[in-house]
Amino acid sequence: MFSFAAPWVFLLLPLPFLVYRLAPPYREKSSSIRIPFFRHVAQAAGVEPKTGSVIPRRARFQVATIALIWLLLVAAMARPEKLGEPLAIEKSARDVVLALDISGSMDQRDFTTTDGAPKQRLAAVKDVLRQFIAERQGDRMALIIFGTRAFVQAPFTEDLNSLNGFLDQTQVGMAGPNTALGDAIGLGIRTFDSSEVDQRLMIVLSDGADTSSRMTPVNAAAIAAEKGVVIYTIGVGDPDASGEDRVDLDALKDIADRTGGEYFFADDEEALADTYARIDELNPRVVETQSYRPRESLAHYPLALALLTMLIFMTGQLVIQRRRGAA
């Protein structure tokens, strides 16, 4: 499609005609021959002498050439452009933070696969998370890992392949043997400070009780609720164990309830996959669609044609003047 970015410039087209009609002619003094019997010559010719100026007439091709050059210059100033086909860009309207417990208890092999084989907790969680991440193409996601301390493993990114790469590098105990659940939620809240969207979702998976946080999970959940962060919690592991190995289901439920999220418990890989499928169902992908049309400027074409026409015209005039001088 062809269009002009500044079509109002065509209002300048009649400007030279208005100047020609309304402005006084340019006056230039020239040498002349004074004869003493000028009055007698005028009377003999039957004309009356008077002051004035001689306005030379231009040939039609000169007027047409000048008009063409002006038209091309105005067309260039109007910025002609070629419009491409409309392109739609989808931008995520929600940011998601994944907070993953990698404390020492995640090394236990108490998960079972679909065929009944034992599997490490973290390995099962990673397998399910990869599928969950792959199905949210277009969303911005961040990964937080926590043990004794909480760390940002991957900041917000739309490159979910690289996010899976960071997930693959995560190993049990690399953040310490204990569980800092409250600090992980607090770090997730700070991670959302760089987010420019209103819908903010945090998914927290833990298999133990909070033992090393500087901020309690309840206080962190209250702050998250004030910031508009919805938290979905997932408990894995053994709720009947003792010490740090016991998953604190009550705390996970309280965190979800305070932020308007939901709590889930999974004791095998199939249940964990169902949990993430349920979260995905409750939070379908939300996008903002923006469309634009690529524009290719064509202003250089009429401008180049105007310069070429002007060059040819001036060259022709110079040739004519030289021929007249030689004659």
pLDDT single digits (tens) 183-220: 999 999 999 988 877 788 999 998 878 888 888 888 99
* Model confidence pTM above 0.75: no
The band of 89, judged by pLDDT with boundaries at 50, 70 and 90, is low
pLDDT score recorded for residue 193: 87
Distance from C-alpha of 99 to C-alpha of 97, rounded to nearest angstrom: 6
Query: Residue 180's closest CA among 223, 145, 211?
Result: 211
The band of 290, judged by pLDDT with boundaries at 50, 70 and 90, is low
The band of 138, judged by pLDDT with boundaries at 50, 70 and 90, is low
Contact partners, residue 255, CB within 8 Å, separation at least 6: 185, 204, 217, 218, 220, 221, 231, 233, 261, 263
What tens digit of pLDDT does each residue of 30-73 get?
A: 676 777 777 777 788 777 776 655 666 777 888 888 899 999 99
Per-residue buried b or exposed e for 301-319, using 16+ beta carbons within 10 Å of the residue's own CB: ebeebbeeebeebeeeeee
Longest dimension (CA), the chain: 135
What tens digit of pLDDT does each residue of 241-268 get?
A: 766 667 788 889 999 999 999 999 887 7
